[in-house]
Amino acid sequence: MSEAPMSVLTETGDNPLAALDTDEQRLDFIIEHLESTAADDWQTDVVRRDDPNGITRNCFFGHLYDLAGGDDPFPVESRYRPETCGSYWWNWFENRWATTFRLYPINDGQDSEYPQPTAKDRVIAFLRDLRSGQQLATEASMDASYELHAASEISASEISATEVDSTESSSSDADTTQPKD
C-alpha cells in the first residue's frame, strides 16, 4: 500500500498528462499508471481514505487526482498552472471519457458488466473498453442517452395519440347508435 499520494509531476512541475498530444495517449498513460498500483491501494464507496497509519487508498478519481499532482500547484515562475492540478485532470476526464456517475458503480462493484474481483481490475477493464470504443465516451454516451429518452418520449406520445384516437373513435361510434329525438 502507498504511504503517500503518488504523483508523476516532474521537478519543474510539468505534468506528463499535459505533455501528451492526444486524449488517447493520456488515457493510455492513465491505464499504465493504474496497472502499476497495488489492488490494496484502491478504495470503494468514497474517493479517498487515509487511515491512522498514513496509508492512503483511492477510488479511480482519487488515483487520477494524485497522478495529476493533487491541488497544490507547483510554483513555476509564481504562476498558477491548472494543468498541474488534480482537479483540472479530473474535470478533463469527466468531460472527455466518463463521468463519476458512470465510473463510481464500476469502481464500487455495482455494475454487472464489470464483475472483476477488485476495483482496480474493474476500472482498468472499463478504461480499456473506453479506449477500444466498446464503451462510449462522455459526449457520445450523453447523446445516446438523449436519443433513447427522445425515442421513448415519441413512443409515449404515439401511444397517447393512438389511445385518444381510439377513444374519439369509440365516442363517435357510440354517438351514431344513439336514437335521435
In the DSSP assignment, the letter for residue 179 is P
User: Is the entire prediction scored with pTM above 0.85?
Assistant: no
121-157 per-residue burial string, b: 16 or more CB within 10 A, e: under 16: ebbbbbbeebbeeebbbbeebeeeeeeeeeeeeeeee
Mean pLDDT of 89-99: 92
| Beta carbons of 121 and 111 less than 8 angstroms apart | no
Grid cell at residue 27: 488515457
Q: Is the pLDDT of residue 23 over 70?
A: yes
Looking at residue 35, its pLDDT comes to: 96
Mean pLDDT of 123-149: 93
| Beta carbons of 106 and 59 less than 8 angstroms apart | no
First CA to last CA distance, the chain: 92
| Exposure on the CB side of residue 139, measured as CA atoms within 13 A | 3
pLDDT class for 161, splitting at 50, 70, 90?
A: low
In terms of C-beta density within 10 A (0-12 exposed, 13-18 middle, 19 or more buried), how is residue 107 classed? buried
Looking at residue 5, its pLDDT comes to: 38
Mean pLDDT of 11-36: 84
Share of the chain above pLDDT 90, in %: 42
User: Which carries the bigger pLDDT value, residue 171 or residue 52?
Assistant: 52
Grid cell at residue 115: 464483475
Tell which residue, 88, 92, 86, 129, has the closest CA to residue 111: 129
pLDDT class for 6, splitting at 50, 70, 90?
A: very low
